[in-house]
Structure 1
Amino acid sequence: MTPLAVALAQPNGASNGATNGAPRAQTKNGVVQGLALPSGVRSFRGIPYAAPPVRELRWRPPQPATSWQGVRLADRFANQCMQARPFGDMMFRNAGVSEDCLYLNVWSPPNAAPGARLPVLFYIFGGGWIAGDGSEPRYDGESMARRGIVVVTLSHRLGIFGFFSHPELAAESPQHAAGNYGYMDQTAALRWVRDNVAQFGGDPAQVTIAGESAGSFAVSAQMASPLAKGLFARAIGESGAHFGTSAAVPTREESERNGVAFAGRVGATSLAGLRALSATELLELSGRPGMPRFPANVDGLFFPKAPEAIYGAGEQAKVPLLAGWNSEEANGRGLVRGEPTADSARAVFARLFGARAADAEKAYPLGSADEIARSLTDLASDRFTGFATWKWLEEHARTSGQPVYRYLYARPRPAPVEAGVTANLAGGVTRGGPGSAPPPARGAVHSAEIEYALGNLPLNKVFGWTPDDFKVSETMQGYFANFIKTGDPNGAGLPAWPRGGVTNGQVQRIRIDVETRAEAEPRARYQFLDQPAAATRP
């Protein structure tokens, strides 16, 4: 079990309050005691929202958490879910990894009494469904809580623990479903918020789900799933959604074939044999080169059909949506060898688009050397997350009747402060001498906006933040806070953010930078990628 102490100081059902300055809250499962931060924000860490998914509960939907007597200490982050360390920009504030990991964290504004009915931000971390955790400093909720918002972050199952499918799993499921356990963990945490957040001053009718990268995909997934209907009122997505060829969700049968292939390669003849493996063994085996990967799938339970079909039919949650991506989600140098030239760019177009290569050049023009580099970076970024996020906004605007707000985040990070550290094109950092990392990016790389949006620049000591960075953060956090409170990002002191619907073929988005402004969306580019013949390989 995760070493979160349970002190028997008071009987279960004690009223909210503080002991020696430590705040308490009554949840459905028992009383928790958190921390009073110097800012007055109250922090509760490591609250269980579901039973530990171990032994016979491995690869099953999350089950209810066990109640406790007395007061449970919620003063430290619980262990993160099983994962390796593939990303250099992840910093954690817990002891390590465990299969017992279904816990969440709450930050409550100063003096937020039960029943205060404050807006709630439920933030889902990124990390490619294989890494990440709600304890990371960049997702810290204190700054948003100082703005009058209750913040919740969580851990959920990842990789083979969160998305594994196998025919035996479908056979033992009442719904004949298999996989998507990580997504169902998120839904279970949202149900916990519905049932408990009022005791922390939050309003269960004013929950905004938000996330970045895999967390943004998760937001699009929760909006699509019937299991999550009615659990949130607004949504924010940063760089990613389950749309487009590169983000397509396979069928359960396809995913089950991967599960059978994996079991065969590790010598497990049954589901019982796979469950008998230790969590460490399973993590190591699944991470070996050439092993199958386990994405979300159309399982018939969480996803009754493909997400794009759900949105296309207008069956998703009909809530206001704010979403966008960054100016350098990926760099064009990943598409060519050596320095980009018009000839090497045209070779890329021919490989990706065939007979439509000339049309590609109209969408991604090849003039000067700078324009060639910019166009290839735009194309790489669009193929990575930009097009999928654009398509999400398009379909939701078309079928929901709800407002959508579109952004492009364009502020490059400043240089790192530590000698020998390079901010790389993937959004992480690399330590070492010259030549140990790709050249630094010129735009806003993948994940660069998180600390700005959540007001957490001071918690990231890698970069030398400037007054301009804090200006951008104040703008972006202000937009997010307004949207979380009202469903509209606009507010006093902020450049006007146009509602991003289509009017006479024109769409406006906000470009977030030192000088934030509205601009026309380069719509023809995304429409080119949206044509079936232009489908690209992932």
Structure 2
Amino acid sequence: MKTILLLTLLALAGLPTAFGQAKKPTTAIISNRVQTANGLLEGATTASGIREFKGVPFAAPPVGELRWREPQPVKSWTGVRQAKKFAPQAMQLPIYSDMNFRSDGVSEDCLYLNVWTPAKSAAAKLPVLVYFYGGGFIAGDGSEPRYDGESMARRGIVAVTVNYRLGIFGFMAHPELSKESPHKASGNYGFLDQNAALRWVQQNIAAFGGDPNKVTIAGESAGSMSVSAQMASPLSKALFARAIGESGSMLNTSFGPLPLAEAEKNGAAFAASIGAASLAALRALPAQQLLEAASKPGVPRFAPAIDGYFFTQLPTATFAAGQQARVPLLVGWNSQEMSAPFLLGKEPATPENFRSAVQKFYGERAEEVLKLYPATTAQEAEQAATDLAGDRFIAYSTWKWADMHGQTGGQPVYRYLYARPRPAMNPTAGNEPAAKGASHSAEIEYALGNLATNKVYAWTPDDYKVSETMQSYFANFIKNGNPNGNGLPTWPAAKAGGNAQVLRIDVTTKAEPEQNRARYLLLDQIFGK
């Protein structure tokens, strides 16, 4: 009897028996175990019944000779691999105060993802959300509570968060790296990590009850820029069916991508500055030493590159030609992406100081800019400076992405403006004054249903109402490619070429005509020259 029981358990786990190789389970997810292409995983179950698998490897550790190489396949394992805790975060310094990690330290060995699934069967074929974190390509991690996938999983979605290499480890190009590459490319390793994760999802997500034909990629800030990058790359555009971008894109942005020769020059200059005469010497340096050296003042940020492999041309050119992933897009930004000091520095917000700043940035085009950002009083000057700062920072490039995809993508584009300011802080968290508008990244916890994970703010019933509305739109889009659904204000798809309807998300959510197209058209003209 014991022998029969043992053989039964081995077969259910997909392990070999004395009678030959057991078939991999095709329908039942037994307990917390899932058979992937590389081996058997064991996760855990939350109190709400969601199965979670943390620290799942999707590529080989990019260390030693694999530092600055395209991600390599995972080595298969025997037995059961535990997937009950988050893996290390990518190499980074503690830069942003709003980041809260649950990861197992910091390491170059960082290419892991996390899965939350409500499926009781591998035949469930549920829609899938793959989320890329923000952090300026120098910080962030898939373990952050604001990205936690349990809330989306409770809505019938298999949620995945993905780690990718950052900073010098994720984006340094170098002539020697290009020379050794079979594609004669270097840089963009962080984007290639995301691509590897998407390929892992295609191969494995069905075992978690997900449908590889219903994958939505999403992200905020650098994560949103990543979504636009994956849409533009010939390597990735067939690996997903829908896309969500929150505040950021790679189209007409100051953050690259650079021509490969320029990116290689930056990498070579950095190597020379730290006395590394060869690629071997660079790879021999401790990761922490490299990280600290790359973070010193005056060192150029390591930006993405047009490497001829991940990017074959500027993303703007790809979208202009209609060669991007032709998928439905939900995209938007926040009402206060940046504050007035970003434009004015330490100068007070007065009409005179605002005019002076605009003249400094825009020269002979300054009068045109001032007409669209009028400021005749101190109050107007503060608002105009806030608006222009936010547009320069991220709103314009996000608008460019939405506008171009609407013109050439052949799929609906749903645009939003997120306008709900965060509430006051809890007394124990600080007394920072509340923003007048929705600041950069403020929408994440609302969109993903994770307000309760953030103990900094004193969330109100109105905040939970806004979160319920926004998460419902996101969940509908992930499931159907259309955010509309019962009980929600109608969100019309934006029409290409102007007169677009934009969903203003707040306590009272409603669609309204696009307000600031003239501003973005002018910035587009200026950027193109």
Root-mean-square deviation (CA, aligned residues, Å) is: 1.7
Contact 1:328 1:444 in 2 (8 A): yes
Cα deviation digits, residues 283-325 of structure 1 (max 9, x gap) = 1221122223211000111001111111111111000111111
| More deviation, 328-337/414-423 | 414-423
Partner residue of 2:3? none
Contact 1:353 1:534 in 2 (8 A): no
Partner residue of 1:275? 283
Matched length: 509
Structure 1 Cα separation of the partners of residues 208 and 188 of structure 2: 29
Cα deviation digits, residues 206-234 of structure 1 (max 9, x gap) = 00000000000000000000110210000
- Name the amino acid aligned to 2:294: S
Structure 2 Cα separation of the partners of residues 222 and 382 of structure 1: 23
Residue among 117, 122, 125 paired with 1:114: 122
Question: What displacement does 1:421 show?
Answer: 1.6
Q: What pairs up with 1:127-206 in 2 under 5 angstroms?
A: 127-206=135-214
Residue among 244, 259, 269 paired with 2:252: 244
Cα deviation digits, residues 421-475 of structure 1 (max 9, x gap) = 245xxxxxxxxxxxxxxx5421111111000000000011111000000000001
SS at match of 2:495: coil
Q: What pairs up with 1:233-382 in 2 under 5 angstroms?
A: 233-336=241-344, 337-382=346-391
Structure 2 Cα separation of the partners of residues 209 and 534 of structure 1: 29
SS at match of 1:493: coil
Length-normalised TM-score, structure 1 = 0.92
Partner residue of 1:472? 466
Q: What pairs up with 1:424-503 in 2 under 5 angstroms?
A: 440-502=434-496
Question: What displacement does 1:355 show?
Answer: 2.1
Question: What displacement does 1:370 show?
Answer: 2.9
SS at match of 2:135: coil
Structure 1 Cα separation of the partners of residues 78 and 14 of structure 2: 8
SS at match of 2:333: strand
Contact 1:224 1:303 in 2 (8 A): yes
Question: What displacement does 1:175 show?
Answer: 1.1
Cα deviation digits, residues 374-396 of structure 1 (max 9, x gap) = 22111000000000000001111
Structure 1 Cα separation of the partners of residues 396 and 431 of structure 2: 28
Contact 2:504 2:511 in 1 (8 A): yes
Contact 1:81 1:155 in 2 (8 A): yes
SS at match of 1:281: helix
Structure 1 Cα separation of the partners of residues 429 and 504 of structure 2: 32
Residue among 509, 528, 538 paired with 2:502: 509
Structure 2 Cα separation of the partners of residues 61 and 501 of structure 1: 39
Question: What displacement does 1:17 show?
Answer: 6.0
Contact 2:14 2:35 in 1 (8 A): no
Q: 1:471 to 1:420 in 2, by over 3 A?
A: closer
Cα deviation digits, residues 43-79 of structure 1 (max 9, x gap) = 0001110000111111000000011111111000001
Contact 1:261 1:292 in 2 (8 A): no
SS at match of 1:38: coil
Contact 1:331 1:380 in 2 (8 A): yes
| More deviation, 242-251/99-108 | 242-251
- Name the amino acid aligned to 1:36: T
Structure 1 Cα separation of the partners of residues 170 and 46 of structure 2: 33
Gaps of 5+ in 2: 1-9, 17-21
Length-normalised TM-score, structure 2 = 0.93
% identity of equivalent residues: 59
Structure 2 Cα separation of the partners of residues 382 and 186 of structure 1: 27
- Name the amino acid aligned to 2:347: G
Question: What displacement does 1:99 show?
Answer: 0.8
Structure 1 Cα separation of the partners of residues 413 and 431 of structure 2: 36
Structure 2 Cα separation of the partners of residues 138 and 420 of structure 1: 17
Question: What displacement does 1:416 show?
Answer: 1.1
Check if 1:44 corresponds to 2:53: yes
Structure 2 Cα separation of the partners of residues 166 and 334 of structure 1: 32
